[in-house]
Structure 1
Amino acid sequence: MMGAAPAVEFEHARRASLRYLNLFRLVIAGLFLVAGRELGLGSENPSVFRLAALGYLGAVLALGFPDAMRRFGSERVILLQVVVDVLALSAIMWVSGGYRSGMPVLMMVVLAGAGLVFAGRMVLFFAALATLAVLLENAWRLAAGRQSVEFFQVGLFCAGFFGIALVARLLALRAQANASLAAERGEALANQQAVNEHIIRDLPDGVIVVDAGGRIRQANPRAVELLGMAPAAAEALEGRVLVELDAAFGPALSRAGAEDGGEAEAGAGTLQAAVPGRMLRSTVSGRLLRCRAVAGASASAAAGDTLLYLTDFEDIQRQLQQIKLAALGRLTASIAHEIRNPLSAVIQAAELLGEERRQEVQARLVRIINDNAQRIERMVRDVLALGRREQALPEALALAAFVRELVEARVFRNAAEHAVYAVDIDPALTLAIDRAHLHQILDNLLANACRHGSGAPASVRLWAQALPGERVAVHVCDDGPGLDEAARAHLFEPFFTTHPKGTGLGLYIARELAEANDATLELAASGAGADFMLTGRITP
């Protein structure tokens, strides 16, 4: 199917070229017959010239009718036409003074037309036939001694026959190839448009196209559904003003127009201006929708169409609620599993404590009960801290002063531990984050660094650096053994820990708190030890 269309297009172009070539033949034959003597043709034998012109006109008329094409076939008719052209022009050249009569130039025109309309290598045969006719006519003229013959000019004409025939044939092949390529690309474009229409029609989001005047040009079925209308009303929406249909879209369209105008002033080469999504409640369907507008930028803010993407935010909220419930179920199961072990140890130690009379064993059992009770308490505290994610109140905190106070609080009971920490932070650096959240994040990172570090002076390093885009990175490093690839892959997962008495929630909560403040917490690549990097904005 793809190869048939280019062939049909080429055949149409070929027939059009053949009609123009036949019209040229008809004009030339009529001109020979009517004004041949005035043009200086047939001076050597007027009767033969008249007969040749009359026969040429009759052949042009006979072979130019469509009935001849249907009866003999286009290839045979074109072959006969070119052969008649060469023979008739050769006869007229013979009785009109040879190549100086201008007939070789007309032969070149005929060969050029033959190269455009005839398929195959027959154009070389036509060029050879014209060359043979011109050479024979000039050889006869030389043998008859009528006049001198300049074979150099005759040779140029003969070489021109082959050159024009080849060039015309190559142009015809190039045109056929271009037609095939254009047809293939046109079919591919049509298929792509069909696929795009199918995708837009089946999108889970609504899509509305409005023009510069706010009139709906196109809307997919999902958009019709979100607007609270029947699917059959999709065609009736076209041409209606969207704001009159639903006034809730007014702010979204006006904002898209303002953004579009700004892009146009910034540069006419901008193709699109994307407007961030905004929430709106449809006055027709009552649904809560997220509307994102994409406007085509141009030299005028009023020109171009606007594409609106509509998402049912109520569905998203329901899906989020289901995800939260599923996550809560997994979290509850994990907490129950993690609490079971220390609780079993507490119950077993309490039972043994009632039976044991030795003082030292009782003290050891009491210590076991206290340790496991504290472990349960830390686990519950960490789980409750997850609820603080939505309470972030970021402020620009001076990092150097904040870290200094945090370190002082950690070494309050043992001043000798102060040498363990090495702080190198520019006093001018700030971090936009909730104060309580930063305290919990850094306290957890410092506790891990002290636990896994060597405890030597400056074994725990805290330093910060300014990053492009008004961001800052805070590093907490230790000189411990570091983490292998297996541990790195699960480091921030809840309840994953490498410490026998850890809950496995510290780093998970720290990262959650960082994300609540538009910051990131990650384990940076380091040669030795662990290097945790907290990256956030400089200003809120």
Structure 2
Amino acid sequence: MTTATLGVEHFSETHWKSLRYFNLYRFVVASLLFTSALLYPSAFPFLSPNQSLQHLGLASAYLLSTALAVILAYRHRQHATMQLTASVLVDVLVMTLLIHVGGGLGSGLGSMLLVTLAGAGLVGQGRLVLFYAAMATLAVLFEHSYRALQDAVDVAGFFHAGLFSAGFFAVAVSARLLARRVIANEALALQRGVDLKNQTVISQRVIEEMQDGVVVLRRDGRVRQSNPRARQLLALDSSREDLLAEYSPELALGFVEWCRSGGEEVVLVRIPGSGMQLRARFAPTASSESDVLVFLEDLGRLQEQAQQLKLAALGRLTANIAHEIRNPLSAISHAGELLREERRGEMYERLLRIMLDNTKRLERIVSDVLELGRRDRTYREVINLRETLPLLIEEYLVKEKLPADVVHLELSGVAALCFDRSHFHQVLGNLLGNALRHSQRIAGSVCVVACDGKADTQVELHVIDDGEGVAAEQREHIFEPFFTTHHRGTGLGLYIARELCEANGALLELHGAGPGADFRMSGRATGCQ
């Protein structure tokens, strides 16, 4: 397809290739004509010896012109229409002269013009194809008219020439229409290819950016393809098609069960390589090899999203609590303090003390809930436990008016924790308060131990007391909100401590089952973000 923009001709690569093939065809024909005229003049019995020399000279000139056309088509990628027109006109001239030398259209050389016009129709553009057919028609009619002037008029010869002329136009127009259809189909295929490539790029980018893992499995359980998230979740090696069982036996077993039953059950698995708990869903595909898609979701991320929703609801709740409860509590507390100044007997004093104690308890609950609503505001930093823990423990013991030897501190290893400093103060305060409340409150009743964790960058902080420990039936409820075994407790201390740990990327759990309670906080020593 050719277009003109600002007078500059643009010829597509396909047309240039077609033009080169067309000129190569002409060069081959010219070579055969030259070889035949030079070595086998008897191949043209209708030629006289004098005409054989003329034929040789004409074939030589034709060979040189076609060789020049081939060179120009390969080296000079400009003025393609002019190159094609010159080639067609040369062919028309040479073939007409050969027809004349050979004794007219009866020599059979007229059919060569049909091939030339067909090639020009495939390569050329627009109305130039009709121009080429018209030039060939004029040349043939002129040659036959010149022959009729030299000899007697041959009416049948003119009829023969007319049929050839009609054939010239028919071949040229048909070739042009065929070329237009081919060009349109080529353009459509090219556009479809571009669209498909763009869609593939977009789909690939979407799959790569997905927060869920996508794995393509063969029916034999081998991993054919996977996106980056899936390779991260399963700790896959993208360069190999390994068996899924090598990375997750549980997931491979779930795949086998799915292949057997064909259901839509969701499989919950824990991956040994990454330590993550995943939710897997299998889906068949319509591929020729019946591959299976596996969609993997990180339950930790889902729980985090649920936690965010919970925090949003909690934020609205705490706002209402601050307005609806805290102000009346302040009024009640203030009124109680004023009534305490009056001395009306022992019963009056006892009832007033109960009222004020419960007012303070409600105030602590409100304060804890309000603090919990701000747990998503974390500013993590690396806390040096060797410097921070002694100061915090000393400050807490002074505040509670306890001897300095009640809490024993042990430090080893890195002794650094990535944590929000204010959150760390509150978590440690809650853990110390819980431990002291259930301990014997003698020297060494509470032991705080900071040591390295199992991983290289992990740190563990243990708060251990010498109390009776946590009963087996209470262990699974110990971190639930408003669960308490102390009559003056709010039931929010351990719950808030765990929530703050999760907000800082740490884990708080009840460790061990021996006498006394051992609360272990595990966090990172580096990598604060």
Q: What TM-score do you get using the length of structure 1 for normalisation?
A: 0.51
State the Cα distance separating 1:167 from its structure 2 match.
Answer: 1.8
Contact 1:220 1:234 in 2 (8 A): no
Structure 2: how far apart are the matches of 1:196 and 1:68?
A: 40
SS at match of 1:190: helix
| Aligned match of 1:350 | none
- The alignment status of 1:235 with 2:242, answered yes or no, reads no
Letter in 2 for 1:308: V
SS at match of 1:218: strand
Letter in 2 for 1:23: V
Correspondent of 1:91 among 97, 114, 125: 97
Structure 1: how far apart are the matches of 2:125 and 2:41?
A: 33
Structure 1 unaligned regions, length at least 5: 263-273, 338-540
| Aligned match of 2:47 | 42
Structure 1: how far apart are the matches of 2:250 and 2:51?
A: 93
Letter in 2 for 1:309: F
Contact 2:216 2:225 in 1 (8 A): yes
Correspondent of 2:298 among 283, 296, 312: 312
Letter in 2 for 1:40: P
Letter in 1 for 2:201: A
Aligned residues: 316
Q: What TM-score do you get using the length of structure 2 for normalisation?
A: 0.52
Contact 2:19 2:84 in 1 (8 A): no
Letter in 1 for 2:165: C
Structure 2: how far apart are the matches of 1:47 and 1:30?
A: 13
Structure 2: how far apart are the matches of 1:152 and 1:310?
A: 80
Correspondent of 1:208 among 207, 211, 215: 215
Contact 1:288 1:313 in 2 (8 A): yes
Alignment CA distance shift 1:32-1:211 (3 Å): farther
| Aligned match of 2:456 | none
Contact 2:251 2:267 in 1 (8 A): no
Alignment CA distance shift 1:142-1:20 (3 Å): closer
Alignment CA distance shift 1:143-1:42 (3 Å): same
Contact 1:201 1:221 in 2 (8 A): yes
Correspondent of 2:202 among 195, 198, 204: 195
Structure 1: how far apart are the matches of 2:82 and 2:10?
A: 24
State the Cα distance separating 1:319 from its structure 2 match.
Answer: 3.4
State the Cα distance separating 1:258 from its structure 2 match.
Answer: 4.0
Contact 2:15 2:123 in 1 (8 A): no
- The alignment status of 1:295 with 2:284, answered yes or no, reads yes
| Aligned match of 2:35 | 30
SS at match of 2:238: helix
Letter in 2 for 1:84: V
Alignment CA distance shift 1:78-1:106 (3 Å): same
Contact 1:290 1:312 in 2 (8 A): yes
**1:122-137 counterparts in 2 under 5 A?**
122-137=128-143
State the Cα distance separating 1:200 from its structure 2 match.
Answer: 0.7
Correspondent of 1:8 among 10, 13, 35: 13
**1:285-434 counterparts in 2 under 5 A?**
285-297=274-286, 303-320=289-306, 323=309
Structure 2: how far apart are the matches of 1:37 and 1:95?
A: 15
Structure 1: how far apart are the matches of 2:47 and 2:228?
A: 78
| Aligned match of 2:115 | 109
Structure 1: how far apart are the matches of 2:38 and 2:123?
A: 26
Contact 1:14 1:116 in 2 (8 A): no
Contact 1:17 1:116 in 2 (8 A): no
Alignment CA distance shift 1:203-1:9 (3 Å): farther
Letter in 2 for 1:175: V
- Residues 15-46 of structure 1 show CA distances to partners (whole Å, capped at 9, x for unaligned) of 34443443344334434554453243435943
| Aligned match of 2:180 | 173
State the Cα distance separating 1:188 from its structure 2 match.
Answer: 1.8
Contact 1:252 1:293 in 2 (8 A): no
| Aligned match of 1:508 | none
SS at match of 2:205: helix
Structure 2: how far apart are the matches of 1:88 and 1:164?
A: 19
Contact 2:231 2:237 in 1 (8 A): yes
The percentage of counterpart residues that share the same residue type is 36
Letter in 2 for 1:48: Q
| Aligned match of 1:370 | none
Letter in 2 for 1:206: G
Contact 1:114 1:123 in 2 (8 A): yes
Contact 1:247 1:283 in 2 (8 A): no
Correspondent of 1:251 among 247, 250, 253: 253
Alignment CA distance shift 1:305-1:36 (3 Å): farther
Structure 2: how far apart are the matches of 1:5 and 1:212?
A: 52
Correspondent of 1:152 among 143, 155, 159: 159
State the Cα distance separating 1:81 from its structure 2 match.
Answer: 2.0
| Aligned match of 1:140 | 146
State the Cα distance separating 1:126 from its structure 2 match.
Answer: 1.6
Alignment CA distance shift 1:63-1:315 (3 Å): closer
Letter in 1 for 2:301: D
Let me know the Cα RMSD of the aligned residues.
3.8
Alignment CA distance shift 1:20-1:254 (3 Å): farther
